[in-house]
Amino acid sequence: MLAELGAAWGVGVPTFPLLLRGARFVDVPEPLNERHSLSLEKVDECFQLIQDLRRVTSLTAKEGVESSIYERAERLAELASAKEADGGGMPVVV
């Protein structure tokens, strides 16, 4: 993982540590824990991820779709909180 992170950071590729299924910041390994982690279990942080992706990419939203985007962020948070997914409900950092 360190080699991939170093290569990504070296060429300016954005990285987003994402927490789900109960993972907490303390679960994020070094050096990834030097970045701000977002919990996909929280709707506002799912929405923040979308905003962050817009900032670092050429993605744009069509006018009038913010409510639809927020609804999808709510669904993402619901799915990220699921404990019955593969892995026995263990916390996950991606």
Residues (pLDDT < 70) of the chain are 1-3, 6, 9, 83-91, 94
- Which stretches within 1-94 are classed as H helix? 2-10, 43-56, 66-80
> Which residue bears the tokens 């905003």?
51
pLDDT of residue 45: 94
pLDDT exceeding 70 applies to what percent of the chain?
82
Asked if residue 83 lies in contact with residue 44, where contact means CB atoms within 8 angstroms, the answer is no
Domain residue spans of the chain: 2-82
Q: What is the pLDDT of residues 24-50, one digit of tens each?
A: 888 888 877 777 889 999 999 999 998
* Coil/strand/helix, residue 38: strand
Q: Provide the CA 66 distance to its chain's centre, in angstroms.
A: 19
